[in-house]
Amino acid sequence: MPEPSVAIVGSGVAGAAAAIRLAELGVPVDLYEAVPEPQPIGAGLLLQPTGQQVLQAMGLLDGALALGQRLGRLYGDTPQGRTVLDMSYERLDASYFGLGIQRGALMGLLWQRLQQLGVPWHRGAAVDGFEQDDAGVTLRFARPRPVPARHAALILANGSFSRLRSGMKVRQHARTFPWGAVWTVLPVPPGFELNELRQRFRAARQMLGLMPVGCAQPQGEWGINLFWSLPLTELSHWRDTPGLDGLKRQMAELFPAAAPVVDGLHDASQLREARYADVWMECWHDGRVLAIGDCAHGMSPQLGQGANLALIDAHVLAQQAQTGADWPTVFARYTHHRSAHLRFYSQASRGLTPMFQSDAVVAPWLRDQFFGWGGRLPFIHKQSIATLAGTKTGWLFGRLKL
Ligand SMILES: Cc1cc2nc3c(=O)[nH]c(=O)nc-3n(C[C@H](O)[C@H](O)[C@H](O)COP(=O)(O)OP(=O)(O)OC[C@H]3O[C@@H](n4cnc5c(N)ncnc54)[C@H](O)[C@@H]3O)c2cc1C
């Protein structure tokens, strides 16, 4: 009898990376994906030095560097010209930078590696539920896969809106965030500054982000990811009110210098909608079942950490699997090793997001008064850039070791 494999549900960043890291150790893995033909699409991502380190360990960093755009600085201000954020990676470490990359480019690299490793990737296989016992886990599928599958363990990597997560006997809650965004990738206009992620804010109600993100495939067209924040109440009907022209007018009023990029928007179908959820779990394991990625700790994208955290989850999981312990022990140790880092970023995201996406008045006012000023103090700047770089495991002390 062959050794029963580990099932991974979801082939986004978390699931694909976990499948790769485990397969590299020789662990038999089956990867299940609900979408019949997954497409390499999705918002531009800022890959932090921590996520880059995991890609390096997978042998995928050179490919990502060739497709992505190195970013040295994050700069955000108000229409009145008040600096809110001004962070340079090199002030933390001369070798650090953010990598702006299209999600499609990253997924292309991960999926190619999966195929090289020969990981069975079952597409169009939506997992509907599971039961675990002392010896393994049984997966049930939504039609058209009526036969349940038996596995040694189960890793849930099916995103923030997972309906499988509630099958874990762990205290948890997931709250859809009241704000979302529309985004797209547009061509780079001549003379555009490619070294920085640029943001413009009006209180916490309006936010335009422009991030150079390289190209989706070799020799492709280089792009800029445009991110426009919207409350969920407006996200569902922006095509009617204010419509594409109205939205473009709002963008141009907020940030006139962005006009050459915004001019690339000529059809509402270019803009994709993004909704996110804030996911909290008391721990991420329950016997033979583990949750990773957004399924375990979904958060708003304000801190630019979600894909990085997913990559680190996969890396730490493989480090624990390497010990050869049984799956419940591996998963319990994983929770222990991921705790400080994940708790810090969940708290930071919950604390900071209302300053950037909300109807609040006082929080963004305080942000505008103090962030720019505080950022000029070396200690505060270092803490802010360490937070952005993904290395922090505590509010004052603690640095992630991979
Ligand atoms: C607008 C926006 C900007 C962002 N910017 C950044 C950034 O700059 N930096 C960063 O690091 N992160 C960023 N993120 C976050 C990042 O995209 C996510 O954290 C990351 O993609 C999560 O990956 P995941 O694999 O956990 O989940 P997902 O990407 O959601 O993948 C889940 C997969 O599971 C599949 N699935 C779902 N249910 C089932 C089922 N029942 N059976 C089988 N398969 C199933 C889905 O089809 C999907 O393929 C951003 C997110 C958004 C929305």
Task: Report the separation in Å between the CA atom of 182 and the middle of ligand 1, taken as the mean of its atom positions.
Answer: 16
272 C-beta neighbours (distance < 10 Å), count: 13
Tokens matching residue 199: 């943001």
pLDDT average, residue stretch 94-107? 97
Assess contact for 207 and 300: CB atoms under 8 A.
no
Q: List phi, psi (to 5°) of 204.
A: -110, 10
Tokens matching residue 247: 């939205």
Tokens matching residue 26: 């020789």
Q: What is the pLDDT of residue 157?
A: 98
Residue with tokens 């704000």: 179
Q: What is the pLDDT of residue 372?
A: 83
Q: Please give the number of the atom of ligand 1 that sits closest to the Cα of 295.
A: 26
Q: Is the pLDDT of residue 167 over 70?
A: yes
Q: What is the pLDDT of residue 144?
A: 66
CATH level 3 topology of 6-176+276-389: FAD/NAD(P)-binding domain (3.50.50)
The secondary structure of 71-108 as a DSSP string is E-EEEEE-TT--EEEEEEGGGT-TT--EEEEEHHHHHH
Q: What is the pLDDT of residue 182?
A: 97
The closest alpha carbon to 342, from 292, 275, 301, belongs to 292
HSE at residue 180, side-chain half, CA atoms within 13 A, is 19
Q: How far apart are CA 211 and CA 199, in angstroms?
A: 9
Task: Report the separation in Å between the CA atom of 33 and the middle of ligand 1, taken as the mean of its atom positions.
Answer: 12
The secondary structure of 235-272 as a DSSP string is HTTTTTTTHHHHHHHHHHHH-GGGHHHHTT---GGG-E
pLDDT tier for residue 1 given thresholds of 50, 70 and 90? low
Q: What is the DSSP letter of 399?
A: B
For all residues of the chain together, what is the average pLDDT? 94
- Neighbouring residues of 362: CB distance < 8 A, sequence distance ≥ 6: none
Q: How far apart are CA 56 and CA 63, in angstroms?
A: 10
Chain segment 58-75, per-residue pLDDT in tens: 999 999 999 999 999 999
What residues line ligand 1, using a CB cutoff of 6 Å? 9-15, 32-35, 43, 45-46, 126-127, 157-159, 164, 181, 183, 274, 276, 293-295, 301, 304-308, 310
pLDDT tier for residue 2 given thresholds of 50, 70 and 90? low
pLDDT average, residue stretch 322-340? 97
Task: Report the separation in Å between the CA atom of 257 and the middle of ligand 1, taken as the mean of its atom positions.
Answer: 31
Q: List phi, psi (to 5°) of 154.
A: -135, 130
Q: How far apart are CA 296 and CA 283, in angstroms?
A: 9
Chain segment 207-253, per-residue pLDDT in tens: 999 999 999 888 888 999 999 999 999 999 999 999 999 999 999 99
pLDDT tier for residue 41 given thresholds of 50, 70 and 90? confident
pLDDT tier for residue 142 given thresholds of 50, 70 and 90? confident
Q: How far apart are CA 259 and CA 365, in angstroms?
A: 26
CA distances from 334 to 241, 351, 372 (A): 47, 25, 37
Helices 306-321 and 13-24 pack at an angle, to 10 degrees, of 20
Q: How far apart are CA 340 and CA 146, in angstroms?
A: 40
Q: Is the pLDDT of residue 139 over 80?
A: yes
Tokens matching residue 142: 């939504």
Q: How far apart are CA 32 and CA 9, in angstroms?
A: 5
pLDDT average, residue stretch 169-176? 97
